[in-house]
Amino acid sequence: MATRTALSIRKVTPAIGAVVEGVDLADVDADAAGAIRQALFDHGVLFFPGQQRASVDQLWEFLEHFGTPWKDDSFGSDEDGPQLVGDSDFQPTKSGTAVWHTDSSFLEKPTRFTLLRAMAMPDVGGDTCWASMTAAYEALHPSLREMLDGLSAVHTLEIPMACMGEYGDAFMAEHDRFHPRQQLHPMVAVHAETGRKALYVTESCTGRIEGVSPLESRHLLALLFEHIKSPDFNLRWRWSEGDVALWDNRKVQHYAVPDYDSPRVVQRIVVKGDRPLGPGS
């Protein structure tokens, strides 16, 4: 029988994040999924402690309440299934995710939601930080918000891959078979479900602003990159084995702290995304 236990949703900070208890992701009914979906829109990232019991097939089925699950961002498809999801050690790629980013913004249709389950964590270190881009946008001066509403920026795969050495070279070679390396996206994205605006620039992938001088682009992006890092908009999560995190890439960014030297093993599934739309779309 699908779970019908009353959910407990506890905020982590006023701006972002909530811990969800009273649900077993091995067996989620439509009512519980609807409440989780609304909590995701409200808080940006949700944490489900102690979810060791759920199989990958059950996590996949859970994500079907939110869209079409894919095995990964760049090489996933609608034909994917849970048998393609394995345990991944993120230690070899930690330098590429140790910067604020939203998943796969270098794609035409970036990932909508991302789910991670911690399988084996370092004894110390390996935390992840998340930041609300809705709160970051709303904290800007109205005149700056109005200007950003009309601008677009180039997102490129080359920036994060440059940090990853041979792995980055191999990934780009495979990626080039399916996708261009760059995409133009609005600097402010309008959330399809809530209608709220969020900053859509990332230090990981945003290379330049379209239609302005290189000097203006560098300085405006530098300002926004620093603004995003404010503690007013972010949280830091200390993982325990079995924790599941689910977040909305359209309104949050994250940063994987690279302060560990032992394996950091997770299971990761994404939900097929859409092209970001700006205020004028």
Examine residue 60 and state whether it is found in any structural domain, yes or no: yes
Q: Classify 44 in phi/psi space as left (phi over 0), alpha (psi -120 to 50) or beta.
A: left
Sorted by sequence, the CB contacts under 8 Å of residue 158 that are 6+ apart come out as: 172, 181, 207
Q: How far is CA 218 from the centre of its chain?
A: 24
Residue 250 annotated in active site:
no
Examine residue 86 and state whether it is found in any structural domain, yes or no: yes
Give the pLDDT of residue 199.
Answer: 98
Distance CA(23)–CA(242), nearest Å, equals: 14
Q: For the segment 15-56, what is each residue's pLDDT rounded down to a tens digit?
A: 999 999 999 999 999 999 999 999 999 999 999 999 999 999
Examine residue 280 and state whether it is found in any structural domain, yes or no: no
Please report, as a single letter, which amino acid is at residue 95.
Answer: S
Distance CA(235)–CA(43), nearest Å, equals: 11
Distance CA(153)–CA(277), nearest Å, equals: 13
- Residue 35's φ and ψ, nearest 5 degrees, are -65, -40
Q: Which one of 101, 155, 185, 250 is the catalytic residue?
A: 101
Q: Which domain holds residue 252?
A: 8-271
Distance CA(135)–CA(15), nearest Å, equals: 6
Residue 254 annotated in active site:
yes
Examine residue 244 and state whether it is found in any structural domain, yes or no: yes
Per DSSP, 11 falls in state E
Give the pLDDT of residue 16.
Answer: 98
Distance CA(88)–CA(90), nearest Å, equals: 6
Looking only at the bridges linking them, the beta strands covering 18-21 and 45-48 are: parallel
Give the pLDDT of residue 6.
Answer: 78
Residue numbers of the chain with a pLDDT score lower than 50: 1-4
Examine residue 279 and state whether it is found in any structural domain, yes or no: no
Distance CA(251)–CA(191), nearest Å, equals: 7
Give the pLDDT of residue 248.
Answer: 98
Residue 101 annotated in active site:
yes
In 10 A of CB 82, how many CB atoms? 17
Examine residue 40 and state whether it is found in any structural domain, yes or no: yes
Residue 103 annotated in active site:
yes
Q: Which one of 155, 179, 254, 264 is the catalytic residue?
A: 254
Examine residue 76 and state whether it is found in any structural domain, yes or no: yes
- Number of independent structural domains in the chain: 1
Distance CA(206)–CA(154), nearest Å, equals: 6
Give the pLDDT of residue 1.
Answer: 40
Q: Which one of 37, 181, 191, 268 is the catalytic residue?
A: 268
Distance CA(103)–CA(37), nearest Å, equals: 19
Examine residue 278 and state whether it is found in any structural domain, yes or no: no
Distance CA(241)–CA(122), nearest Å, equals: 10
Give the pLDDT of residue 3.
Answer: 44
Grouping H, G, I as helix, E, B as strand and the rest as coil, residue 250 is coil
CATH number at residue 262: 3.60.130.10
Q: Which one of 80, 103, 243, 248 is the catalytic residue?
A: 103
**DSSP state letters, 80-106:** --GGG---EE-GGGHHHHSS-B-TTTT
**For the chain, first and last CA: distance in Å?**
43
Give the pLDDT of residue 5.
Answer: 53
Closest CA to 244 of 84, 2, 26: 26
